[in-house]
Structure 1
Amino acid sequence: MADSSQSLSYQAGEAKGQAQEKASNLMDKASDTLQSTKESIQEAGQQIAAKAHGAADALKDATTFNK
């Protein structure tokens, strides 16, 4: 009976270890996805800022009289 109990304990430990590994992998994937999303948003923000600056310059040039 002790062997059976030890076997069940071992199997429970194995299952726990596998679950922890899967959870760790999922957290790593989530972290990578968040980082990628953050970088994409920052890049989009920079592009929008550059376009807005270009539009402001174009408006300024269009409304300035060249003398």
Structure 2
Amino acid sequence: MSSNMSAGEAHGKAEAKAENAVGAVKDTANQAADKAAEATDTNQGQAQARKEEASGILQQTGEQVASMAQGAYEGVKNTLGVGENQKK
């Protein structure tokens, strides 16, 4: 191979290298976009699971508060003598 490359050959090789570089950059960008989409899906799934867990905890807490309120109500009724358990 001659060390004197024609301008056309040099241009062709440079163009091919540029196209390869652009292709590599596109591939890398696509891979990054895919990973970002996967991370988003994972985060959305985790957020949904946490939302459901929090909802369950709030429901359980609400039931406990209602039960405590009912117990307090029954205690007041019994203290005032209007409860069903009072002897007549």
Report the counterpart of residue 55 of structure 1 in structure 2. 72
Report the aligned-residue RMSD. 1.2
Report the counterpart of residue 41 of structure 2 in structure 1. 24
Higher relative contact order (CA 8 A, sep 6+): 2
Report the counterpart of residue 50 of structure 2 in structure 1. 33
Which of these two proteins has the greater Rg computed from alpha carbons?
2
Report the counterpart of residue 66 of structure 1 in structure 2. 87
Structure 2 residue corresponding to 1:14, chosen from 31, 55, 70: 31
Higher helix fraction: Structure 1 or Structure 2? Answer: 1
Q: How many residues in Structure 1 have an aligned counterpart in Structure 2?
A: 67
Structure 2 unmatched runs, 5+: 1-17
Runs ≥4 residues deviating over 3 A: none
Q: Percent identity?
A: 21
